[in-house]
Amino acid sequence: MVKYSIKFLAGVAVAAIAATSAQATVYTVNLTGLVSNFSASNFDFGGNHYDRFILSPLSGLDPSNAFTVSQGDTIDATVTLDTAYSIPTSISYTNILQIFTGSSFPAENTAVSGTFTFYDLGSPVATFSYGSTTSGQLASYAANFPPTNAGFTFDSFTNDTLITSLPTPATVDGSYFFYDLVSPATPAPEPITLSLFGAGLLGTAALRRRKKKTV
């Protein structure tokens, strides 16, 4: 096994360990994120409500220090936040994802497997294993159902992403992190319910008018 490392701009190092027999490479990537850069959105899909929180971008990986990955390679990422951050307990389940992006990813499906480990002050506080597929990028995706959907506070995490399927080599030049707090969607009132509600309001208004006339 041959070990070599390459230093890039902005104090970021990507170390690659090449296994000469299988030609697999391990890329070690150090990234940072500002908690103030988290943005929130929400949507309903498939009977569920999603509260989504995105930390983008993660600093330390961009076109100036991009690298090319192939099937069988591993990306060992360490992400450090500027301050501690808390992910609360979800009602149904919690999605946790780190996305690796690039302009040359094929349209065909890609697949990865690995483990997230979250730390607070150097001590592990949560660990989630995953296997996931997507297209046009690499997506480390862990869906955490009770009891593993409990809340936790962290200031860093590691993510070892083994690329199990990648039809053609692709260049990785960016990354971001997000999580979803998933709960049952609140059903919209059916038309008949709205009609009854409206009729009730009209009846209340009429009753008020009658009371005013009798006073």
pLDDT digits (tens, 9 = 90+) for 14-40: 444 444 345 899 999 999 999 999 999
Cβ(74)–Cβ(138) under 8 Å? no
26: CB partners within 8 A, 6+ apart: 15, 16, 17, 73, 74, 75, 76
pLDDT of res. 22: 55
Mean pLDDT computed over 29-55: 97
CA distance 98 to 118: 13
In the block, tokens 């009209």 appear at 202
Average pLDDT, the chain: 84
Nearest to 45 by CA among 8, 9, 106, 95: 95
Q: How far is CA 68 from the centre of its chain?
A: 22
Determine the Cα angle at 66 with ends 13 and 2, to 5°: 55
Which tokens go with 102?
């690039």
115: CB partners within 8 A, 6+ apart: 127, 128, 129, 130, 159, 160
Mean pLDDT computed over 2-18: 36
User: What's the pTM value of the predicted model, to 2 decimals?
Assistant: 0.78
Mean pLDDT computed over 173-184: 98
CA distance 33 to 118: 14
Residue spans of the domains in the chain: they are: 2-184, 189-215
